[in-house]
Amino acid sequence: MVKKKILYLGNKLSHKGRNSTGVETLGKQLEQVGYQVVSVSAFSNKLVRLIHMLSTVIIKSKKSDVLLLDTYSTANFWYAYLSAKLARNLKLPYICILHGGNLPNRLKNSPTKTKELFSNAKYNVAPSGYLISEFQEKGFKNLKFIPNTIEIENYPFFYRKVDTPKLLWVRSFAEIYNPTLAIEVFEKINEKFPNAKLCMVGPEKDGSLAKCKTLAKQKNLSVEFTGKLSKEEWTTLAKEYNIFINTTNFDNTPVSVIEAMALGLPVISTNVGGLPYLIDDQKDGLLVPKNDSEASIKAINQLIEHPELAQQLSINAREKVEKFDWEVVKEKWHEVLQ
């Protein structure tokens, strides 16, 4: 099989303290299996990043077989839209990789632009059945399901004793991920379990980290804020915790939740976006309504009172995410790239 030359556009901002994105993780994985990958852009200024992306498409179009576009729902949507428009003029086929649980709203609010972008793509790759169904409802047919991937060997599974709640939250601190909900939940849990713990891992994005620190201080709560950690650092830290909480208001299929499932952490997540496509409630995790602290508290108490449930959720979750291992998923990428 002849491996193709790939131009990959996305936000390469991990060196600026942000979490790694698809262009950094998937791009590296594709290189490791023999594809020639050129990826941009690492500029933090959004306008400069856009100019870098567009100029790279012009320069590399004749030397590339396909363009991969990390495609988001908010302001970064325009990177993909403008890059794809240029690629079509240069006769360079492109594949949109769909990120963000709020893309259905983008389809609704920008119907002309989204139709132009997604209808002309060779494929639109979705990591969840949620986005597949939303795009199908809008009439798109050029869809491929390829889940977000992990290297399962890097995630040692072990059972946790779920007695005193030790809560772990891992995400960028952004308003759409509703991190303050974790503080509100912990306040109530801490009243019942004085030795309970909450650790929140992730970089600042829009002022939400500072807001959470202020809230925790106001409520006199001892919350550990680690800032951004590498995957190895936070997965090692995870050994000290026994429940993973995901508080987001909008989402697709977050890798951090997949990683928690792989590690054996029972997961409590808001029932939004792609999460019910990832988690079967009461089978391999617990789903609760968004922005509902009482429901999250009830779920935590359920795990404490029924440790056998916590153990079974962990076993089932691990079995599910083993199918997301790169050694399995890479075959799906070979199919769309050939």
| Contact present, 212 and 180 (Cβ < 8 Å) | yes
**Residue 171, CA distances (Å) to 54, 126, 154, 227, 247 in order:** 30, 20, 19, 10, 9
Kindly report, residue by residue over 119-147, the tens digit of the pLDDT: 999 999 998 888 999 999 999 999 999 99
62, part of any domain = yes
Please give the backbone phi and psi of residue 191, each rounded to the nearest 5 degrees, phi first: -65, -40
The CATH number of the domain holding residue 162 is 3.40.50.2000
- Same-domain pairing of 136 and 174: no
Kindly report, residue by residue over 222-241, the tens digit of the pLDDT: 999 999 999 899 999 999 99
**Closest C-alpha to 83, from 116, 126, 54:** 54
**283 Cα distance to chain centroid:** 21
Give every CB contact of residue 89 below 8 A, 6+ residues apart in sequence: none
Domain boundary among the residues 146, 181, 212 is at: 146
Report pLDDT for 2.
67
Domain boundary among the residues 93, 124, 146 is at: 146
In whole angstroms, give the CA distance from residue 61 to residue 125. 21
Element (H, E) at 267: strand 267-270
The CB-based long-range contact list for 212-220 (8 Å cut-off, 24+ gap) reads 212/173, 212/179, 212/180, 212/182, 212/183, 215/180, 215/183, 216/183, 219/183, 219/187
Kindly report, residue by residue over 26-65, the tens digit of the pLDDT: 999 999 999 999 999 999 899 999 999 999 999 999 999 9
Query: 16-25, 183-192, 201-210, 264-273: lowest mean pLDDT where?
Result: 16-25
Task: Give me the domain span that covers residue 182.
Answer: 152-323
Report pLDDT for 13.
78
Q: What band does 193 get if pLDDT is binned at 50, 70 and 90?
A: very high
338, part of any domain = no
| Contact present, 90 and 118 (Cβ < 8 Å) | no
Domain boundary among the residues 115, 146, 177 is at: 146
For the chain, what is the domain count? 2
Percentage of residues of the chain with pLDDT beyond 70: 98
- Same-domain pairing of 166 and 297: yes
Which residue type is seen at 109?
A: N
Kindly report, residue by residue over 269-303, the tens digit of the pLDDT: 999 988 999 999 999 999 999 999 999 999 999 99
Q: Give the strand pairing for 94-98 and 66-71.
A: parallel
328, part of any domain = no
- Same-domain pairing of 85 and 212: no
Give every CB contact of residue 134 below 8 A, 6+ residues apart in sequence: 103, 104, 107
Structure tokens belonging to residue 283: 């089978």
- Same-domain pairing of 240 and 97: no
- Same-domain pairing of 170 and 296: yes
- Same-domain pairing of 307 and 163: yes
At residue 100, does pLDDT exceed 80?
no
Q: Which residues pair with 7 in a beta bridge?
A: 38, 67
- Same-domain pairing of 204 and 219: yes
